[in-house]
């Protein structure tokens, strides 16, 4: 920063916007912030300068400077209302979040701000930054720390009855419990978020997030039709806002159609005017490839789709979990169809027919035998599968049980009669 400051005027802001390079503009804006004036007009110009400076630093990917800027602005925050301070702080954190690879820096930044807000007794800002910090910790898979932070924050916010923040925190808690595979608690937290949301006006983006989480939890319980309706509502909300989360809602909608054996509907949804060219890309192409493989009952196409769209399918935990189940079902159906004509068949021959590695097929067959999907045994010495005929139930056993049951009734009846005679 230059030692000489510039007057906090609109002319100085114009000078920064007319600068030939971003570095020159950043330097000019720093000099405006160095101005010691605390007049109302000067403060307003400085607020604009901070906004412009954070945008420029973000465009230049100077995340560390954005972090330092928040520390430098602390004396300035004592001159402006707390609401404006909260807006500026959250704006700078959002700017850092838009720079790739700054996850750890964001966590450090949030912890620093939480510490400062505790000293300054800025409760409103601290609670929101703590909620942001919990979300960052969850993204970094530091679940225990995030859960500890949230549990204390929820109690505090419930006492203050800040419904909008409560919705955000309950939703975050639901996502956190879902990540920890604790579905009952995830559902309870989501119900709490919905209850709080019903009492106030919730922004469309927040409502979309609630619907998206509802869809994810219903899909986890295999209720794909209800999940589809929630994903559709989320897609409508995000699409209207042009939110990047719209593509994920669409992706999960297509997943639900595949899971309920309606793969043919996928092409219709993708080509609909609402989706159009706007959402065409690898996410939609991945689901299209899976739908095609599923409709053709082809494991080879399924594996090709998983290989070609690894980032979109394997690395998305929600999609990966459901597709793993779908793959197993497809594999079992294909194996049962192939072994049906045989009483003894080489495993290598089945592997060749199904176009999968032999050891993979052998492992699956042994699992199916243990799960009693069919009667048979593996002769590993000969590399063969021996299929037994389904044992025919012997009719004598049910008949014997029925006779014994009828005799029991006769004895009971005779006992009742003899009791009456004696009496």
Task: Find the mean pLDDT for residues 267-292.
Answer: 83
Residue 298 pLDDT class (50, 70, 90 cuts): confident
pLDDT confidence of residue 131: 92
User: Own/partner pairs for 63-72, CB < 8 Å, 24+ apart?
Assistant: 63/96, 63/99, 63/102, 63/105, 64/105, 66/92, 66/95, 66/96, 66/99, 67/96, 67/105, 67/108, 67/109, 67/112, 70/109, 70/112, 70/113, 71/112, 72/33
What confidence category does residue 423 fall into, taking pLDDT thresholds of 50, 70 and 90? Answer: low
pLDDT of residue 276: 62
User: What percent of the chain is predicted at pLDDT more than 70?
Assistant: 98
Residues 358-404: tens digit of each pLDDT: 888 888 888 888 888 888 888 888 888 888 877 676 778 888 888 99
Backbone φ, ψ for residue 376 (5° rounding): 180, 180
- As a whole number, mean pLDDT of residues 130-158 equals 90
Predicted local confidence at residue 386, as pLDDT:
83
Confidence of residue 324 (pLDDT cuts 50, 70, 90): confident
Strand partners, 379: 384
Q: What's the CA gap between 130 and 117, in Å, rounded?
A: 10
SS3 376: strand
CATH of domain 321-388: 1.10.10.10
Rg for the chain (alpha carbons), in Å?
32
**Rounded mean pLDDT of 114-134?**
91
Structure tokens at 355: 């176009």
Q: What is the pLDDT of residue 17?
A: 83
Render pLDDT for 74-102 as a digit per residue (tens, 0 to 9).
Answer: 888 888 898 899 999 999 999 998 888 88
Residue 261, pLDDT > 90, answer: no
| pLDDT value, residue 1 | 42
Sign (positive/negative) of CA torsion 48, 50, 51, 56? Answer: positive
What confidence category does residue 33 fall into, taking pLDDT thresholds of 50, 70 and 90? Answer: confident
Per-domain boundaries in the chain? 1-99, 321-388, 391-422
131 compared with 336, residue with greater pLDDT:
131
DSSP state string for 89-128: HHHHHHHHHTSTT-HHHHHHHHHHHHHHHHHHT-HHHHHH
Identify the burial level of 47 via C-beta atoms within 10 angstroms of its C-beta, where 0-12 means exposed, 13-18 middle and 19 or more buried: middle
With 50 as the cut, is the pLDDT of residue 207 above it? yes
The token pair at 331 is 């594999």
Structure token digits, residue 294: 């599923």
Mean pLDDT of 51-78: 90
**pLDDT given at position 372:** 81
Strands 344-346 and 384-387: antiparallel
């Amino acid at each position: 920063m230059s030692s000489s400051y510039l007057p906090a005027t609109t002319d100085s802001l114009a000078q920064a916007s007319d600068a030939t390079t971003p570095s020159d503009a950043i330097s000019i804006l720093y000099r405006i912030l160095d101005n010691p004036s605390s007049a109302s007009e000067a403060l307003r110009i400085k607020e604009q300068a901070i906004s412009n400076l954070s945008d420029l630093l973000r465009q230049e990917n100077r995340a560390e400077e954005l972090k330092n800027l928040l520390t430098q602005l602390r004396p300035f925050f004592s001159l402006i209302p707390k609401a404006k301070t909260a807006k500026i702080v959250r704006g700078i954190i959002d700017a850092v979040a838009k720079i790739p690879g700054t996850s750890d820096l964001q966590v450090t930044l949030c912890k620093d701000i939480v510490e400062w807000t505790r000293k300054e007794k800025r409760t409103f800002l601290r609670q929101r930054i703590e909620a942001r910090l919990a979300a960052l910790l969850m993204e970094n898979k530091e679940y225990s720390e995030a859960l500890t932070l949230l549990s204390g924050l929820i109690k505090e916010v419930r006492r203050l009855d800040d419904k909008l923040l409560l919705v955000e925190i309950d939703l975050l808690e639901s996502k956190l419990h879902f990540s920890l595979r604790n579905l009952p608690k995830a559902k309870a937290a989501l119900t709490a978020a919905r209850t709080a949301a019903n009492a106030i006006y919730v922004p469309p983006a927040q409502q979309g997030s609630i619907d998206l989480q509802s869809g994810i939890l219903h899909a986890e319980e295999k209720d794909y039709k209800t999940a589809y309706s929630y994903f559709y509502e989320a897609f409508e909300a995000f699409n209207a806002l042009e939110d990047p989360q719209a593509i994920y809602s669409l992706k999960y909608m297509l997943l639900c159609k595949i899971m309920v054996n309606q793969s043919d509907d996928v092409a219709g949804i993708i080509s609909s005017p609402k989706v159009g060219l706007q959402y065409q890309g690898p996410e939609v192409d991945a689901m299209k490839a899976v739908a095609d493989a599923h409709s053709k009952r082809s494991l080879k196409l399924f594996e090709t789709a998983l290989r070609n769209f690894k980032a979109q399918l394997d690395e998305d935990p929600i999609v990966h979990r459901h597709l793993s189940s779908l793959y197993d079902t497809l594999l079992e159906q294909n194996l049962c169809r192939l072994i049906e004509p045989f009483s003894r068949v080489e495993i290598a021959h089945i592997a060749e027919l199904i176009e999968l590695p032999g050891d993979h097929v052998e492992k699956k067959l042994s699992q199916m035998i243990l799960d009693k999907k069919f009667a048979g045994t593996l002769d590993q010495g000969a590399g063969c599968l021996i299929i037994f005929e389904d044992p025919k139930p012997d009719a004598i056993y049910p008949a014997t049980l029925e006779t014994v049951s009828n005799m029991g009734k006769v004895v009971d009846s005779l006992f009742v009669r003899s009791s009456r005679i004696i009496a």
